[in-house]
Amino acid sequence: MVVPARTDANFIKVFVHEVYVVLLAIGLAEVVFRGIQPDLSDPGLTVSDNVARIFGALLVFWVFVSYWWLWSQYVKEEVRPTQRELVFDFAILINLELMFAYYKAPLVLGGLFVLLGFLDLFWVANHLYELRATGERAHRWKWVRAKFNAIVVYGLVLGLVWYFGSLPALILILAMAVAFGCVRWFLFGEVKKIHGLVFREAQEDDIAQIVKIHNDNALENVLNERARVGRGFFLKPTTEEDVRAARTGTSERFFVAVDLEDERTVLGYVATANEIPRGILDDVCWESPGSKSFLSSVQHLHITYVAVNPKQMGRGVGQFLYDHLYQTNPHCVFSAFMSTKPYLNSRSLAFHENQGFKCWGYYCATEFRGQRNYKSELRVNAMHYAAKRDAWVTCLPIALLTLPLIALGLAFALMPEWNPALWVIGGPLLLLFLVGVALQWTLFGMSYEITSSHMIVRAGPLRQSIELDAIVEAVPTSEARYILGGVWRFRYASSADAILMKYQRANESSWEVVISPVEKSRFLGDLAKAAPGLEDVGHGTLRRRSESSA
């Protein structure tokens, strides 16, 4: 008999899945036969202690099953067949099994939560390293930050368990359960991506399903279902001939999201064109006079259609389609029309608002595709640029978050009993920790955006909008002193490889702002296109024409 060979990736998937089964059985046996039962020989064991054991066992079971579920549903299809992957997976499994062994000891269990957080972080770092050649890493750095924040949460709970160890074990177990719930639902809620889906260009066999998805979302069908509120729609149905005609031309392309296990099933689709149809573009009423020329001067993709199978709504298929559009066209500006009259496409407006699409203009027509007194908004997702961060800038908030926790733990260890000196030590350490939280929020939330009329700078809770017409000069620089603060110069840079920008508002003196986009040359090129008054005077420097001619 010939046994089919398994690849290394399949070996890891099968191995981890089977070990989960074995370890869960061993852990449950440990709990049932040796843990949750009264010990008659120990008169000090109370009913409260047994209740704490039950809750501890349920907590560990929850953690174990959660990790198994996440592995099965989201992770296993993405693993790379490497020895490092196998080592980290096995280490996480052993850590989970140790939780079953020490679920009755809150302090040890808290330490295992911290260790689990570090193992998760190492696993994600290794996973990003394996993806270094695929170009898929950019959107996953939020995952790293979430794992690091989880370590901080677990560390705080461990400190509380250490310090308040005299409290009933049940309270300590419940505190750890709350911490794990916060980590699971709040920290990871924004970084969960749709797995098990494939993004590809549409093929001939997909056309029938594309037409069905389109027509299921057509206005007449939505109105017939009396589900207009909260449901997106198209104005008119389409046919297979219409889709084929659009695909055979050079102006429109169709992309689909299909199931990984059955690539013949289309869950949603998006269609893009290289430009807005000229007959419609000329009739748009623009919010800003320079918007039309701006779209003509930059790389631009117009989204003509996007739709999801109604049965698949709520799974994030639309977000999956847009995420891959952004990844495959990182330097493009995207635009789309959304109906507002006579019917308001509220679902589409809300979805694109969350994507950062802003209203740039309106299109009005007495009759358009069967609708009288028609009006729609033209929304545009302007050019976004991530901030470049030097290594020491990245390590600074991490150090401010971890070192106070380590120092506080050492203080508790050296002074197990309460001592007023803990207030003297804990106050400054808590302040440093809060400074680290603020720095992490500011530095990791830093980004830049160019619209048709403004340059918008964001840094965590801070936001500054600068009119393009007010920009006088943009000078590339590599001096580290520009990261430090000054009285009249605003710092939104986390790298010495920065751009010093000068701008001047009406009847005001000159101001300066320092930014550090990852792709500095592309940012300057796009800025020159968006602000025609700026020109390149050499060495990448942009300057207002009036000054250069003088």
Side chain identity at residue 355, one-letter code: Q
| pLDDT (0 to 100) of residue 3 | 34
Say if CB 35 and CB 60 are below 8 A apart.
no
- Tens digits of residue pLDDT in 83-103: 777 888 888 888 888 888 888
**Complete domains list, the chain, with CATH:** 8-193 (no CATH), 197-381 (3.40.630.30), 388-550 (no CATH)
Reported as type and span, the H/E element at residue 171 is helix 169-182
Q: For 318-361, what is each residue's pLDDT tens digit?
A: 888 988 888 888 788 899 999 999 888 888 888 888 788 889 99
Main-chain dihedrals φ then ψ at residue 314, nearest 5 degrees: 95, -10
Q: 189: buried, middle or exposed (CB in 10 Å: 19+, 13-18, 0-12)? A: exposed
Q: What is the 3-state secondary structure (H, E, C) of 279-331?
A: HHHCCCEECCCCHHHHHHHCCEEEEEEEEECHHHCCCCHHHHHHHHHHHHCCC
The whole-angstrom distance between residue 496's C-alpha and the CA centroid of its chain comes to 26
- Residue 177: enclosing H or E segment and its boundaries? helix 169-182
Q: Evaluate whether 103 touches 59 at the Cβ level (below 8 Å).
A: yes
- Per-residue model confidence (pLDDT) at position 418: 59
pTM, entire model? 0.63
Q: What is the DSSP string of 18-78?
A: HHHHHHHHHHHHHHHHHTSS--TT-TT--HHHHHHHHHHHHHHHHHHHHHHHHIIIIIGGG
Q: Which two tokens stand for residue 330?
A: 């990182």
Query: What is the distance between the alpha carbons of residues 49 and 72, in angstroms, rounded to a whole number?
Result: 34
Contact of 242 with 182, CB cutoff 8 Å = no
Q: Which of 140, 28, 158, 149 is nearest to 78 (CA)?
A: 140
- The pLDDT of residue 27 is 76
Q: What integer pLDDT is reported at residue 40 of this predicted model?
A: 45
Residues lower than pLDDT 50 in the chain:
1-9, 40, 133-139, 190-191, 193-194, 226-230, 484-488, 547-550
Two structure tokens written together for 244: 């084929």
